[in-house]
Structure 1
Amino acid sequence: MFKELALKRESCRAYDGRPVPHELLQEILETACLSPSACNSQPWRLIAVEGEVAEKLRPMVQAAGLNRFADKVSTFVVICETKASLKEGVSGDRQRFAQMDVGMVTMMLTLAAADQGASTCILGCFRENKIKELLNIPEDITVRLVVAMGYAEKEGVRQKVRKPHSETIGYQSW
């Protein structure tokens, strides 16, 4: 059931250091790329980072003393936003659709990982320029997010704390 998967997915901040097998990582990435996008533009590139390159990337996501748990993360997925290719007739800031699409592919990635027994944490604080240099990302491409991936130290599902539905769901009006 999908709700069970949604409950299983959480932001993991305690990893056991085991690497995600490359074949499993590939399956997770390919599943994530099934995500919907505006005009099927798929304005993303997911860059899997493992092994020695992950070791070099680690301090780039630990800027300003953040994300200390990344010391035991075996795999990172760098999520880049590419230029949105939308159909003629779509007006306004066309690139804003790409930002939403990147959010959706990121969610699909975290759900696909959870479905395969891997844990993730979406990271929004990182040294973008250093990551671009390390991974040869073109200057005109934006690194939107980095997803830490590995295996949780502890098994089990934490209790999710959410606002009451009365504050987050409406019917027919605000």
Structure 2
Amino acid sequence: MDFTTLVATRRSVRGYKPDPVPRELIDEILHVAKGAPSSMNSQPWHVHVLTGEPLEEVRRRNTELMLAGAKANRDIHTHGPYEGVHRQRQVDIAKELFAAMGIAREDKVMRQDWVMRGFRQFDAPVSIVLTYDRILDPGATCHFDLGALSYGIVLAAWERGLGTVVNGQGITRSDVVREVANIPDDEVIMTCIAMGWPDDGFAANAVRSVREPNEAFVRYVGFPD
């Protein structure tokens, strides 16, 4: 498909078929995505692709720890809870997802199950963990670069019929991911991308988040009125 259609049709996928994704196809996707721009051509990324028993172990241990009330242990610093308009956008998409899945506001069990799905990386058959060299910290510039790589991955996957969702919950316990995937200590775990074949019968997969109109966030300077 053409690029505009690719971008316009892509959506976050939160329900997957159990079918495996061929290693060759993932390698093809990463070959495309690595064309993303990076500061000074630094290409600061490392990619760790998990499937099978290692991924199941990450899921299992993440879930056990979070259900037990363990604190998050991420390599990167986070902003904490969203507030203001950012919080409102988070709430809006959550309402749409819960409505699609038939999860009532008072249904604490199902709401908790949905949260746990995030820690399980939505049961996708593949998890792509993105890291960068610790020597680049504080890493605002390389964070930007890994964001470009991440978008390249999700678009290249979508073009090939694969769904993805960028899933920060999947690395909430970065220590677990590091141990299971044998990620070196000199790499910082930034995020992961769940990937697999979309389950078209999973209602939440039909949900598309709304984007703000350009005038809400764009300023033009120096252009004629």
Give the TM-score taking structure 2 as reference length: 0.66
1:84 shift after superposition: 6.7
Residues 37/82 of structure 1: CA separation in 2 closer, same or farther (3 Å cut)? same
Equivalent-residue separation in structure 2 for 1:120 and 1:112 (angstroms): 10
Aligned length: 166
Task: Report Cα offsets for 1:148-169 as digits up to 9, x if no partner.
Answer: 0001111886544111221022
Equivalent-residue separation in structure 2 for 1:132 and 1:166 (angstroms): 42
- Mark the runs of 5 or more structure 1 residues left unpaired by the alignment: 86-92
**2:128 — aligned with what?**
77
Whichever residue aligns with residue 76 of structure 1, its letter is S
Equivalent-residue separation in structure 1 for 2:199 and 2:127 (angstroms): 17
Residues 21/67 of structure 1: CA separation in 2 closer, same or farther (3 Å cut)? farther
Residues 71/81 of structure 1: CA separation in 2 closer, same or farther (3 Å cut)? same
Is the contact between residue 55 and residue 127 of structure 2 (CA under 8 Å) also seen in structure 1? yes
Q: Tell me which of the two structures has the higher relative contact order, counting C-alpha pairs closer than 8 angstroms and 6 or more residues apart.
A: 2
- The structure 1 residue matched to 2:184, chosen from 123, 134, 138, is 138
Please list every run of at least 4 consecutive aligned residues from structure 1 whose deviation after the TM superposition is greater than 6 angstroms. none
Equivalent-residue separation in structure 1 for 2:138 and 2:127 (angstroms): 29
Equivalent-residue separation in structure 1 for 2:127 and 2:184 (angstroms): 19
Q: Which has the larger radius of gyration?
A: 2
**2:217 — aligned with what?**
168
Is the contact between residue 35 and residue 108 of structure 1 (CA under 8 Å) also seen in structure 2? yes
Q: CA RMSD in A?
A: 2.4
* SS state at 1:161 partner: coil
Mapping of residues 30-109 of structure 1, within 5 Å:
30-59=31-60, 62=63, 64=66, 66-68=115-117, 70=121, 72-83=123-134, 95-109=139-153
Residues 42/83 of structure 1: CA separation in 2 closer, same or farther (3 Å cut)? farther
Is the contact between residue 119 and residue 150 of structure 1 (CA under 8 Å) also seen in structure 2? yes
Structure (1 or 2) with the greater helix fraction: 2
**2:86 — aligned with what?**
none
Task: Report Cα offsets for 1:35-71 as digits up to 9, x if no partner.
Answer: 1100111111011112222212223565636351635
Is the contact between residue 61 and residue 123 of structure 1 (CA under 8 Å) also seen in structure 2? no
